[in-house]
Amino acid sequence: MPKARTPGNGNSPKKRVLTVSGVPNLPGISHDSNPDLETEIRRRAYELYEGRGCTPGHENEDWLIAEREVVARFQHQGA
């Protein structure tokens, strides 16, 4: 009989949790001086989720798109 999929037995896919602190050395952006960066990313990711009709399953994709957009905007403002 096959093993049940549980988080600890190696049979389940691992989801990567993405956070702003996990973004390596973004030029011109200090997360300490921009505490609103993560809040803005969260807000934009939620807007993307709503724009898809609140369909689950695209959380990481939404986060990455939002992160790219928000970081680009912060970098542009600082230039």
61 domain-assigned: yes
Q: At what angle do helices 59-78 and 36-51 cross, to 10 degrees?
A: 130
4 domain-assigned: no
Give the C-alpha separation, 58 to 39, whole Å.
19
**Band of pLDDT at residue 78, cut at 50, 70 and 90:** confident
Average pLDDT over residues 63-75: 93
62 domain-assigned: yes
Domain with 58, as residue range(s), is 35-78
Q: How many domains are contained in the chain?
A: 1
14 domain-assigned: no
52 domain-assigned: yes
46 domain-assigned: yes
Whether pTM exceeds 0.85: no
68 domain-assigned: yes
Highest mean pLDDT among 2-6, 13-17, 39-43: 39-43
pLDDT for the residue numbered 54: 96
